[in-house]
Structure 1
């Protein structure tokens, strides 16, 4: 330990009171700017949202942000972050295009109801190290579109990347005549105290990342949206196009070195096609480990039950090296696979891995596959989503009715599809609610609707009182009065 550095850090660290004062000053600036912004009209709100979007989408800036993100956090890879920054923001712009988010947004003369969109105020955006640019900009654009100010609380690892993003946004704001106080960032060092103070002082908290951050958001006393734990499983049913299923699973499992909570952590293959599907996965540069190799990988990936940083969001090659799997050198492995049959802490591969490592389960039939997924989610990942590869799409409805999931993703690359894609109708988002299964208060993709209050004006209409038998006649006929 470098004692001098440690002492210097302690001396430089702000006191608790200084942290609170600093956060209070940020919130005061944001609140003042927001009050003027929310009444500036739809065109101004749209301009601010567009400025934030172009700040990250412009290729040179996007490249710098992608490179900075990987250099700062050591998570993921530059090309996939570059693609994610662009596509997720483009998709969000598509979802927001032409949407009214201030003033009157709906009139229903028959019900006598007029709806008026209202801003929520100052949003505290808690963001993870896995996506230190794409996630905050998604929240920033949504917040601005709805007339809000936003203060980002990045992870300590991702602070530099997020600060660069905010710098780019402020440059665009200057060109567009937008107040930079509408988008701010907690200064370094980002501490739990600073994040907690921000949550307490804000009007709304939107928390993405660790479950510790989500629990802290819920405990802040401020209205909060938080996400559940990821640990996605996908079922390969016997009627599936196996080559296409393997291609999509491999793409999803390897994208950005599996930093996404929507990346498959397990696949459950029906016995009738197990061997054929494994062959297809091997053709997609997956490598199946034997029992001895699996044990070495487990020892490298988990220390005292916690994921090791040296394997998290690293390439399969880097993970193999960390695990001492020298025999895999030269195989050009894109992802590693281990066969699994158990669930829970004694079987860590059944949980989230945040790495291009895939647990493979064998199911006797579709009902058994659903049972296996339910057992996985009883340990980790309940509420998030499940993947299904099949030619019988009715099975998707069955999963949606029976499994504890908010989304069923059919015949798609899961991590690209769950947060919205151009070939499905889900809203573009990097924050997915997991419902009460995942101890969340919402089960949708966090889109702009969650950044709005809605005031309803109720006018008198002609009274329409139904007859009792219209509503209870069926009940009376079956049960009696």
Structure 2
């Protein structure tokens, strides 16, 4: 038996016993495990360890992310039914019973080595599953420490430690792929290579699409508020999030004032020469390098040798672009506090530019809209984006990276894994949540038979065409 086979075998034993618990008993386990990272001292240690080991992001924002994402998830899970009868409909005669999926393989990225694993662990446990985490090599130390805290909490509530395990060091592709093949469900967040491996593992899988979020500032937007939201999102954790704005499309009537607002919020626009210097470091052979990923604007300015003295004190950097695609690398995802800016004539042109960007990279994820705070034009424009662009989410008048994964002031489920639908090569377009970790068994009862007539079903057709 290989080491991975051993992990899975132990997980199956633990899961079978865990499956016998009541809803209240399961909920106690979930609450205990949530405290493994919500407890401030443990959270601080994990945040510091994550930045030390990965070199990505910053400690203060890691702490906030660990706390806020877990707190929000626990709000979502608190009253969710995941044991026994969860729905009943007398009219249809259907009753639904929640069932676990078994052993979950959780593929997690280096960008969130604490927040993403705990999110998947809590969702899995809420649904009476066991889970084995396959962290990125850079994030392994953080994940291992997190699981030490989790196991302490499991001991406290007398739940088996083998419910939550991690692949042993060193983390290899072979071990990760073996885990995916042996598990009952794969939930994968991270590189597109891992997502493709999950989908071809032979195991049912949920994977996420690539990010490259673009937001629109139209002529009706509150420019100061829009700039504040964008900088809050763009600089959070040095833009490690796939939901961080990579570009902003601005309607011409407010372009100059919008740039001014972004500059007042801490942005610095680079000239053509500095843009070229940055491009030479950030991209190699048209592909994003890891050199500047999740670093501060100051670090980026120094590493790229930027001449603008303001760049070294900027919160984020801006570059102007007029096209999208392989010949315009700044139109792609940057995973750093670098924001691409396009000027367009009007809202129709803004939609067209976003569509062009997403045809290159980021299709399926989400789009942002900064417009009037409320009213028919806001509703109409948001509806146009939802109906016309290949996006699973339209985020209106919010800090994008804060809102897309769920927030206390919107209705999305808290998650660090966003499905991008078929546009992004995914089989779901929701925020990954606890319902994706469940099987549903349905009891089907007989009800009074009602057989419709052909005339009733095809009434509209028959009113326009002959019956021949």
Which range, TM-score by smaller chain? over 0.9
Superposed CA offset, 1:73-123 (max 9, x none) = 000000001000000000000111111101111111111101000000000
The aligned residue for residue 108 of structure 1 is 89
Confirm or deny that 1:96 pairs with 2:77: yes
Q: Look up the match of 1:220.
A: 201
Tell me if 1:433 matches 2:419.
Answer: yes
- In the other structure, the counterpart of 1:181 is 162
- Aligned-partner SS, 1:455: strand
Of 425, 442, 445, the match for 2:431: 445
Show the counterpart of 1:462: 448
1:125 and 1:54 map into 2 onto residues whose CA distance is: 20
Alignment pair present for 1:404 and 2:390: yes
How far apart are the structure 1 equivalents of 2:205 and 2:381?
A: 34
Verify: 1:275 aligned to 2:259, yes or no.
Answer: no
Shift of 1:304: 2.9
CA shift for structure 1 position 332: 2.0
Instruction: Please give the alpha-carbon distance, in whole angstroms, between the structure 1 residues aligned to 2:74 and 2:104.
Output: 20
Q: Indicate conservation of the 8 Å contact 2:249/2:341, yes or no.
A: yes
1:285 maps onto 2:271 in alignment = no
Following TM superposition, by how much is the alpha carbon of 1:157 offset from its aligned partner in structure 2, in angstroms? 0.2
Task: State the distance in 2 between where 1:93 and 1:35 align.
Answer: 24
Alignment equivalent of 2:350, drawn from 355, 358, 369: 369
The more displaced of 49-58 and 267-276 is 49-58
Candidates 223, 230, 240, aligned match of 2:221: 240
Q: Can you list the C-alpha shifts for 1:253-285, whole angstroms capped at 9, x where unaligned?
A: 000000000000000000010000000000001
Paired with 2:8 and 2:274, the residues of 1 have a C-alpha distance of 52
Q: 1:286 & 1:192 partners in 2: Cα distance?
A: 39
Whether the 8 Å CA contact 2:268–2:311 is kept in 1: the answer is no
RMSD: 1.0
Give 2:365's aligned residue.
Answer: 384
In the TM superposition, 1:228-267 aligns within 5 A as 228-267=209-248
Residue pairs, 1:44-443, within 5 angstroms: 44-328=25-309, 332-391=313-372, 392-393=377-378, 394-443=380-429
The runs of 5 or more residues in structure 1 that have no matched partner are 1-19
Instruction: Kindly indicate whether the alpha-carbon contact (under 8 Å) linking 2:298 and 2:311 is maintained by their aligned counterparts in 1.
Output: no
Structure-2-length-normalised TM-score: 0.97
Q: Alignment length, in residue pairs?
A: 462
State the Cα distance separating 1:218 from its structure 2 match: 0.3
Residues 380-433 of structure 1: per-residue CA shift (max 9 Å, x gap) = 000000000001312001100000000000000000000000000000000000
Quick one: distance in 2 between partners of 1:348 and 1:336?
A: 15
TM-score by length of 1: 0.95
Partner Cα separation in structure 2 for residue 477 and residue 63 of structure 1: 69
Separation of aligned partners in 2, 1:362 and 1:224: 40
| Partner SS state of residue 265, structure 1 | strand
Contact 2:56 / 2:295 at 8 angstroms: preserved in 1?
A: yes
More displaced 10-residue stretch of structure 1: 43-52 or 232-241: 43-52
- CA-CA distance at 1:51 after TM superposition: 1.7
5+ residue gaps in structure 2?
Answer: none
Distance in 1 between the 2:3 and 2:47 partners? 29
> How far is the alpha carbon of 1:362 from its aligned partner?
0.6
Q: In structure 1, what is the Cα distance between the partners aligned to 2:76 and 2:466?
A: 50
Point out 4+ residue stretches in structure 1 off by more than 4 angstroms.
Answer: none
What secondary structure sits across from 1:234 in the alignment? strand
Contact 2:268–2:310 (Cα < 8 Å) also in 1: no
Asked if 1:476 is matched to 2:462, the reply is yes
Distance in 1 (alpha carbons) for counterparts of 2:305 and 2:311: 14
Deviates more, 1:189-198 or 1:324-333: 324-333
Distance in structure 1 (CA, Å) of the matches to 2:313 and 2:214: 25
